[in-house]
Amino acid sequence: MTLQSSLDIQARSATTTPSPSVRSSAAVAKLIDESKCIGCKACQVACQEWNELREEIGNNVGVYDNPSDLSASSWTLMRFAEVEDKDNNLSWLIRKDGCMHCADPGCLKACPAPGAIVQYSNGIVDFKQEACIGCGNCITGCPFNIPRISKKDNKAYKCTLCSDRVAVGLEPACVKTCPTGAITFGSKEDMVSYGEKRTKELQERGYANAGLYNPAGVGGTHVMYVLRHADKTEQYSGLPKDPSISPLVSLWKGAFKPLALLGMGVTALAGFFHYMKVGPNEVEDEKSREEA
Amino acid sequence: MNRRQFFRTCAAGLGGSSIAMLGFSPQPVLAQVRGFKLARTTETRSTCPYCSVSCGVIMYTLGDNAKNNKPSIIHVEGDPDHPVNRGTLCPKGAGLLDMIHSPNRLKYPEVREAKSKEWRRISWDEAYTRIAKHMKEDRDKNFITKNDKGVTVNRWNTTAMLASSAASNESGYLTVKSARGMGMTAFDTQARI
Amino acid sequence: MTNSWVDIKNADLVLIMGGNAAEAHPCGFKWVTEAMQQRNAKLVVVDPRFTRSAAVADYYAPIRVGTDIAFLAGVINYMLSNDKVHMEYVKTYTNATFLVNDKFSFENGFFTGYDEGKRSYDKSTWGYQRDKSKDEFVMVDETMQSPNCVYQLMKKHYSRYTPELVSKICGTPKDAFLKVAGFIAGTHTPDRVMTILYALGWTQHSVGSQNIRAMAMIQLLLGNMGRAGGGVNALRGHANVQGITDMCLYSEVLPGYLGAPTDADTTREDYLKVRTPKPLRPNQMNFPQNFPKWHTSLMKAWFGDAANKDNNFAYDMMPKRDTAYDALAIFERMYQGKVNGFLCQGFNPLAAIPNKKKLGIAFAKLKFLVVMDPLQTETAEFWKNFTDFNNVETDKIETEVFRLPATCFAEETGSFTNSSRVLQWHQRATEPPGEAKTDAEIMASLFMRMRDLYKKDGGTFPDAIVNMAWAYSNPNNPAPEEVAREFNGKALGDVMAPPDPKNPKEPPKVLVKAGEQLPGFAMLRDDGSTSCGNWLYCGSWSQAGNNMARRDTSDPSGLGVYPNWGFSWPANRRVLYNRAGADPAGKPWDPKRKGIAWNGTAWAGSDVPDIAPALGPDSGAGPFIMTPEGVGRLFAVGLMAEGPFPEHYEPFETPVGVNLMCPSNAKAVSNPAARVYKGDMEQFGKMAEFPYAATTYRLTEHHHFWTKNARANAATQPAQFVEIGDELAKEKGIANGQMVKVRSNRGEIKAVAVVTKRIKALEVNGKKVHTVGIPIHWGFIGLAKSGYLSNTLTPFVGDANSQTPEFKAFLVNVEKA
């Protein structure tokens, strides 16, 4: 048995009992400085290598984004956007996409499976595949469209912020590898203040609209961006300007959760018995699952 | 763990958590994260073999070098002490593990005979014997001791060699020493390109 | 690199041109982002494509492929005509004041001495005026007013490159050119330093060496050589490309860049004489005068006792070269059927040498081919049919092919030399897969087989083979430690100090005892008392031990010197020409970035001085100790094939068809001194049929043809594509993501079109020129999707000096597939 490390829990999906709160552990954060990002994809590869994931060999569809979207085995990827301003000055805006580790995580709120999504006291939002029922509600709940359901095992996956590394005192794999220092990691407090310093430096360099992206609509995030054009976040391959959790998720969670929860649980149990009798099913594709 | 076992484990986890939902289980205060896989590996420092930034890397091998353990590299990460890369690696370097374990690595000497459509595995001894025979035959036949002005030139230019620019200095030194010793002049390297 | 990776952080301006540091060297590029953040340095990128380096740059200017000299010449003109040069540096540290032969001239595209039939120059007029009364020293004009002085000749030569003409040739808008010229020229003051980062974007041209010379001239004019944050920095491609270059696995040089014997060097005496220069100015160090010591020590390392005074240190054991044997020349010979056997070590020439079709024909003429590689390669399977990707008739190819499995870095111990000349030792971590062996073991075993055969059966000239010093513990697999000790060198007898002129009667001191490892190349002797396999690497494994394995992370100066990390050749020096980082009186030009300084009795500082430590400012010794002049060369005497000043010539396949610097001279459209083989000239495409400029390049996701075999990397750029500008795509009706055919006069490839705003059509000589970008990383072997070798398209011609192929500028046509 490998040595296991653990982290204090702050919130747990589909659980009403309050979490313990005597110990206080410092919140962590990852800061992505877009002005220093060269889109080399080292973070993508390091993520694959550390987390023992391998993406399918795809095709080129006319862009540098490869794979072309996040998947159960690609938890981060570079999104490239060619943008010309009114004077025809070209920018190639490159954004590392992946879980933002929201302080108020829509996925966790939406999740009906107890303990399938946890938020540690350091701010990391982690998916526990052993408890996941594959319902896809986390996708609906996510304002950034991040989680993906695996076709192999019908579980939801996304960036863990390398919780296994952070738990033993290391930085996430993507942070460590980043060749240009575009990704940094530390306490949330330090990252906010570093992000503000970078913002100022970029403003002095001529990027008047530089800013720190730490959106309040989701309570702030534990993955933040420094953007040269923070006034036009959508230019960065559709980064939402003011993300918030869908009102449907909040409603569902507030009023109907206990009932719905029971329903989901029964479904899950039924699934379990079905499995014991019949064996595993091949899972339908993600879309139909979402619609279902 | 094969796929079937994986499904079984997941299903059991699902069942367990559903049961927990129905109120049969205490609240966990801690959550176990994935086990830290490097806890007892052996570290070896090396240099990335790709470009000539020559980043320092640490290779993590399974096991503790005990006699009964066959070392296998399970992870490669940047060396934080290295003054140039300070622990970072580019996408190529970050994927070194897959180069080391590439299914396209060559494992045995092989020969493709004239006009043949396939490779055939041979022993090192057969490979060396046959190659040396080819080389000596060509050298004995075409070696030039004096040019047409009578100057001693001692060259062999009918067997050529292109040397690697990814081999170590020690390999390179032995390569140039032996090639010159045999009198080769048709001798060049990838480094020119 | 004259400077180092970490030293980039000391720059005020980083120019990336002829390279794409962010993509090809991301971890080195961190020192660019560091300079930008910590000292507010500016990053300027000049490239035909808006690269990922440009994505984070302060300023980007486009340029047509193959016109860099015109651009740089325009910058020189801008600097000279706006008085933006570091005049004290130029006067004292360059040959600006030197007088040139008065018969030297340049007219309508040709320098004096051109021979059209031979496609080469008689360089006799490209020299200095010498003073017969004073040791043949070069005559100078300190006022720099003489029309024959280098400064005036240079000024005249480059006055032709006006901003308007530069823009017309390069397609760079005039204001963009002026903006970049302004950035560069702004570093002419002692308190500002520019570094230039280039790579194959400058070398892979028929004028490659002159691209780099043009930039070297700019850095000399700005006073940026020898300074922290300055220099001319080649970012090299492979992990040990620098080390293999230093070890000189080339036909024309021996380890340590010692010119190899040719048929003209009939005796050892003649050979040494022409390679041992006399000083061209008084009191110069003229370091190459030590050539006989380096060469004799090499012969002792290779032949041991079999190299001695009685046999001229085995001079005749070494082959003499009659002609060129660079990679292009080798494949030309193979194509002509003059090569029977070919050993291919860790190299995939079918993918890496131009004109795949020609190569395929050449390979099929071999009797035997031996491939040593860790991976499957296209070269090893040139005989196999891979449909359109490699459509050959296997049963007609008679070549016997041996494929020998080699280890990769993780399975071997030894040293690599990085781009900034630092030798670093690495340790093996695991066993090789299957029966794979190290390159060293394979070469040594083959050599021992040959030696045994010659010992047993005799044969033609067995002397060198059987006499070569090979006393390794395991001759079939010499330990890397033993080999490293050998190339560092040792004292064979006691190495004595020269007699002390102050106390001539004192018995001479022993500097190194017989049998000890040498501490540095100053100890080398030409009497056979020292052995050294590569003088530049002397000091890497001294009596103190393996200096390449040092891991001291301290950096006392804070300038990123790391003096005790590994070993940096020469003499553990980190910044070359660092004497030039101080003013003539010995004070650093910029006290905040102090390299070395004169302390009253010696040179000292954060680095190993690049001058004899006691040779003070009053000695008159110049800082460029590797030239007999002691100064940097703005005018290159006799070394370059196509002229002493870089001049613009079009690529051999030009989308303009005319050299706008000499429009009336049809013979000087492209480099008049570049070697072109019969048959290849006819294969150059013309702009009527192939209207688009094309260039090949690497992407950050891949390393050459290796990482297509690594799963995680293959997924990040899985399939072959070409890049075309949106304007051209519109003209041709090509949609993004659609398959296109790209055709040159040598072949055709099919790939996905990436339609982009990042490659713009340029206005060249009143006409629109489109550029097609062709990344190189795919082939018919690997985990990535199969693709065409990009060298199906490229032309078989190289730089006139280095013979590096012209991969960066040629012509193609594009259509929907």
User: C6-98+157-234, which class in CATH?
Assistant: alpha beta
| Cβ–Cβ < 8 Å for B141, C220 | no
The pLDDT score that the predictor gives to residue A2 is 44
Say yes or no to pLDDT of B16 above 60: no
Confidence tier at A251 by pLDDT (50, 70, 90): low
The pLDDT score that the predictor gives to residue C438 is 98
Tell me the backbone φ, ψ of residue B164, rounded to 5 degrees.
-70, 150
The mean pLDDT of C124-137, rounded to a whole number, is: 95
Q: What is the pLDDT of residues C268-280, one digit of tens each?
A: 999 999 999 999 9
Q: What is the pLDDT of residues C637-682, one digit of tens each?
A: 988 999 999 999 999 999 999 999 999 999 999 999 999 999 999 9
In chain B, where does the domain assigned CATH 3.30.200.210 lie?
42-100
The mean pLDDT of A280-287, rounded to a whole number, is: 42
Is the CB of B91 less than 8 angstroms away from the CB of C426? no
Confidence tier at C503 by pLDDT (50, 70, 90): confident
The two beta strands, C721-725 and C747-756, are: parallel
Would you state the CATH architecture of domain A9-28+41-185? 2-Layer Sandwich (3.30)
Q: What is the pLDDT of residues C301-353, one digit of tens each?
A: 999 999 999 999 999 999 999 999 999 999 999 999 999 999 999 999 999 99
- CA-to-CA distance for B75 and B62, rounded, in angstroms? 9
Which tokens go with A28?
Answer: 């962590």
Q: Where are the domains of chain A?
A: 9-28+41-185
Q: Provide the 3-class DSSP secondary structure of residue C427.
A: coil
The pLDDT score that the predictor gives to residue A272 is 45
* A21 shares contact with chain B (CB less than 8 Å): no
Confidence tier at A246 by pLDDT (50, 70, 90): confident
Is the CB of C237 less than 8 angstroms away from the CB of B162? no
The pLDDT score that the predictor gives to residue B1 is 37
- The one-character DSSP state at C795 is -
Is the CB of C346 less than 8 angstroms away from the CB of B189? no
In chain C, where does the domain assigned CATH 2.40.40.20 lie?
666-816
The mean pLDDT of A115-127, rounded to a whole number, is: 96
> Residue B54 forms beta bridges with which residues?
none
Q: What is the pLDDT of residues C752-783, one digit of tens each?
A: 999 999 999 999 999 999 999 999 999 999 99
- CA-to-CA distance for A271 and A275, rounded, in angstroms? 6
| Cβ–Cβ < 8 Å for C406, C443 | no
Find chain C residues with C-beta within 8 A of B51's C-beta: 24-25, 235-239, 419, 703
Residue C394, judged by CB atoms within 10 A of its CB (0-12, 13-18, 19+), counts as middle
Instruction: Supply the ipTM of this predicted assembly.
Output: 0.97
Is the CB of C240 less than 8 angstroms away from the CB of B53? no
Rg over alpha carbons for chain B, rounded to the nearest Å, is 28
Residue B10: closest C-alpha in chain A: A130
Describe the crossing of helices B169-181 and C291-303 by its angle, rounded to 10 degrees: 80
The pLDDT score that the predictor gives to residue A289 is 37
Say yes or no to pLDDT of A75 above 70: yes
Please give the mean pLDDT across all residues of chain C: 97
Q: If you count residue pairs, one on B and one on C, with CB atoms under 8 Å apart, how many are there?
A: 482
- CA-to-CA distance for C372 and C376, rounded, in angstroms? 10
Name subunits touching C (3+ CB pairs < 8 A).
Answer: A, B
In chain C, where does the domain assigned CATH 3.40.228.10 lie?
6-98+157-234
Q: Which of A48, A180, A205 sits opposite C30 (nearest CB)?
A: A180
B55: part of which helix (H) or strand (E)? none
Find chain C residues with C-beta within 8 A of A48's C-beta: 712, 715
The pLDDT score that the predictor gives to residue B14 is 41
Which CATH number applies to B42-100? 3.30.200.210
Confidence tier at A271 by pLDDT (50, 70, 90): very low
Amino acid identity, residue C586? G
Residue B101: Cβ within 10 Å count: 15
The pLDDT score that the predictor gives to residue B9 is 40
The pLDDT score that the predictor gives to residue B23 is 40
Q: Report yes or no on whether pTM surpasses 0.90.
A: yes
Which tokens go with C395?
Answer: 């049963």
Q: Which of C339, C431, C461 sits opposite B160 (nearest CB)?
A: C339
Is the CB of B36 less than 8 angstroms away from the CB of A9? no
Find chain B residues with C-beta within 8 A of C383's C-beta: 112
Q: Which of C37, C700, C738 sits opposite A201 (nearest CB)?
A: C37
Say yes or no to pLDDT of A261 above 90: no
Amino acid identity, residue C291? F
Would you state the CATH architecture of domain C666-816? Beta Barrel (2.40)
- CA-to-CA distance for A109 and C771, rounded, in angstroms? 52
The pLDDT score that the predictor gives to residue B189 is 96
The C-alpha angle with vertex C8 and arms to C4 and C9, in degrees rounded to 5, equals 125
The pLDDT score that the predictor gives to residue A23 is 80
* A126 shares contact with chain B (CB less than 8 Å): yes
